[in-house]
Amino acid sequence: MIDVRLAATRLLASLISQQGSINSLLPEVMKTVKPKDTALLQQLVYGTSREYWRLDALARQLLKKPFQAKDIDLQACLLLGLYQLREMRIPPHAVIHETVELTKLLNKDWAKGLINAVLRRYQREAITLDQQLSQSSDIYHWNHPEWMITKLQHNWPDHWQSILIQNDIKAPLTLRVNKRLLSASEYLALLDEEGISAGLSELSQHAVVLAEPLDVKDLPGFDIGEVSVQDEVAQLSVPILAPQAGDRILDACAAPGGKLCHLLEEIGGQSTQVDAIELSPHRITRINENLARLKLDTYCQVLCGDATSSEWWDGNCYDRILIDAPCSGSGVIRRNPDIKILRQNEDILKLASTQLSILENLWKMLAPGGTLVYATCSIFPQENERIIERFCKLHTDALHQPINLSAGYSRPYGIQFFPKFNSHDGFFYAKLVKLDASGSSNA
């Protein structure tokens, strides 16, 4: 077992160096600390990641010169110390002492005096520094990378401030109730019996939103498949796709399987063939685990395949295709704060190219009269409505169908959701119908 702050520092250094994400790194790191320290480890990692750009701006102001690349671990150490001083109820002297001791554990005793001096200076000048940086630095004020602030200002001039604010507020824990076993109202009653406060969603008839986050192991019925964790806006994929008995359906880019399981809960057991493809074998394991817990593994076929290729396809067209496209994740930053550290501006163009390639490839597999739903958890139009607009201009057999919902913002192509306090994440949907040779949609 290693010191919990050392574990957090090493993980944060990996994030800053673009070597992994919290989701990919944290499970293994948690095994290296004492069980009683796992909650603290998560708080340190998620909290420092959430406040990263504000903490980084502070560090740059406090240091005479930034750390060299070989000392990224010291940068992570300093940011961790600043986070604890600012956000945690730990006596300042204890924070400073523990952070200085970290330099020894990192085998960099030479930095002991530097870290001590910087943290003590922050302790003395915190109010003044906050006032100065709030006025002089957009990065500090909005706690996001400059490129993201600028892009959101350009893309969403009426919404960018709200988006940035919501990104830094923790998201609620939202559940999807398995309609095959019980209703959302019935599950709400079970929660009430357990003294767990929650409410029904206004967006999804199967969603329950908890007042406070909870370990899934403590949720009644989770182990027997009565509920799954899924944001309420992500639960709209199935009603928008509107599957019918007898349909041949494809769920593309299916991991970790939330939308696939929801689809199977809706139609499982009907005379319907459902295929799911996922590129990563490791992520397929996650899909299969979710299917097994919900006892849905016999209702679909999970294939290891690339959505930009047809090597896995048997040549039979699908009636409905759901594309949960790989994207920037910019709509779920509040759940994955390291996105603000890991994502770069140039990534958006690369992702858009992949998204269009997936659309082009899978469109060939859609039967005339069939429906395709394109979804991302992004708030950037470059990954969303502009992809659909470009695709429709390239394909005369693609008919865009407006999605009429009481929530979200209808766009010329698709519907856009922004993260909302104590409610849904940022998300995008578009619905296309494939015209037959006569120009009819049969829809």
Catalytic residues: 377
Cα separation, 39 vs 46, in Å, equals 11
20 φ/ψ sector (left φ>0, alpha ψ -120 to 50, else beta): left
Residue pair 258/286 in contact by the 8 Å Cβ criterion:
no
| 3-class state of residue 345 by DSSP | helix
Residue pair 164/200 in contact by the 8 Å Cβ criterion:
no
**Among the residues of 109-183, which ranges form H helices?**
112-136, 138-142, 146-155, 160-167
Kindly report each contact of residues 167-171 with a partner whose C-beta sits within 8 Å and lies 24 or more positions away, as own/partner. 167/333, 167/334, 167/340, 167/419, 168/50, 168/51, 168/143, 168/334, 168/337, 169/334, 169/421, 170/213, 170/334, 171/231, 171/332, 171/334, 171/335, 171/419, 171/425
DSSP letter assigned to residue 377 = S
Cα separation, 432 vs 390, in Å, equals 13
Cα separation, 56 vs 78, in Å, equals 9
Residue pair 376/234 in contact by the 8 Å Cβ criterion:
no
Cα separation, 10 vs 23, in Å, equals 15
Nearest residue to 51 via CA among 140, 127, 125: 140
Phi, psi torsion values for 401, nearest 5 degrees:
-115, 125
